[in-house]
């Protein structure tokens, strides 16, 4: 087993499926012990825990709605109780919230922004409180290339992810004296169940928008996460790394896909 994260304690939010699941398993393969956060998919989280334990690592599943600060506080109490400390936090949990601009409601806006941006901030704050007790750590945020390029029907989502980029810089400044690094990576179009459910033709329609002419597999996000979590990136903080097949270089979008996704989520 690689030693890049050997015996580090890592919390991954939204880790029961999709990119979060891939990250939790990939970090475990690098030697980490995991807190697997989930909101509603209990069975998925339990399967991830079993797989991590099969790799010889410790894991615990903790339910928390990260749009709620009280839930976040309880989740980090569980980290302290079950795993003793935290070395790395991966802020992965997020929701898309498809809606046309003129149909967005206050409730929809709050749901998306509270989960994606507020949740990232308060998870980071709780983790940083623990990290400063033990001499430092790494916070890795998962953003989106939608933060760099506006995308139709995703006003709350794109805004929340752009907010994460600003938050990354601010937290890097605030937490550097405590030897806590804060970085973000921004995935491009990725083959997760949510995207494939919204559009069965997702790989073709979005893949053709990227320079590499394909969408990503969730497992392709593991390398950037491990790099930002471990000492290989020890002189990096406040940075945003795009992992998007070159999508942000040319910035085209499949308009038909965006309309289908909106219709699917009405």
Annotate 134-145 with b (16+ C-beta within 10 A) or e (fewer): eeebbbbbbbbb
Token pair in block for residue 259: 């309309």
Strand partners, 216: 190
Contact in structure between 166 and 256 (CB atoms under 8 Å): no
SS (H, E, C) 110-132: HHHHHHHHHHHHHHHHHHHHHHH
- Between CA 170 and CA 180 the distance in angstroms is 12
Q: What is the dihedral of CA 202, 205, 207, 211, to 10 degrees?
A: -160
- Between CA 26 and CA 18 the distance in angstroms is 12
- Between CA 106 and CA 95 the distance in angstroms is 16
Quickly count: other Cβ atoms within 10 Å of residue 228's Cβ: 24
- Between CA 163 and CA 28 the distance in angstroms is 29
Q: Kindly provide the residue ranges of all beta strands, DSSP E only, lying in the chain, ordered along the sequence.
A: 9-12, 33-38, 59-63, 88-91, 137-142, 180-187, 240-243
Instruction: Write down the catalytic residue from 157, 202, 235, 242.
Output: 157
H or E segment and range at residue 26: helix 18-29
Whether residue 157 lies in the annotated active site? yes
| Residue numbers annotated as active site | 157
């Amino acid at each position: 087993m690689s030693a890049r994260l050997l015996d580090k304690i890592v919390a991954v939010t939204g880790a029961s499926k999709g990119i979060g699941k891939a990250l939790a398993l990939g970090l475990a393969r690098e030697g980490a012990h995991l807190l697997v956060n989930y909101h509603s998919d209990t069975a998925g989280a339990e399967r991830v825990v079993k797989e991590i334990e099969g790799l010889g690592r410790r894991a615990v599943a903790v339910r928390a709605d990260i749009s709620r600060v009280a839930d976040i506080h309880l989740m980090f109490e569980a980290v302290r109780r079950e795993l003793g400390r935290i070395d790395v936090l991966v802020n992965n949990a997020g929701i898309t919230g498809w809606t046309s601009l003129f149909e967005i409601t206050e409730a929809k806006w709050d749901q998306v922004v509270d989960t994606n941006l507020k949740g990232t901030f308060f998870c980071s704050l709780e983790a940083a409180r623990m990290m400063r007790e033990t001499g430092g750590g790494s916070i890795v945020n998962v953003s989106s290339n939608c933060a760099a390029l506006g995308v139709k029907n995703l006003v709350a989502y794109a805004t929340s992810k752009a907010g994460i980029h600003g938050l990354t810089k601010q937290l890097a400044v605030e937490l550097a004296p405590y030897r806590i690094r804060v970085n973000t990576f921004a995935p491009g179009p990725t083959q997760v169940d949510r995207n494939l459910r919204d559009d069965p033709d997702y790989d073709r329609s979005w893949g053709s928008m990227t320079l590499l002419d394909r969408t990503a597999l969730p497992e392709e996000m593991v390398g950037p996460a491990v790099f930002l979590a471990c000492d290989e990136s020890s002189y990096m903080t406040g940075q945003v790394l795009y992992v998007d097949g070159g999508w942000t270089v040319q910035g085209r979008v499949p308009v038909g896909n965006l309309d289908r996704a909106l219709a699917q989520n009405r």
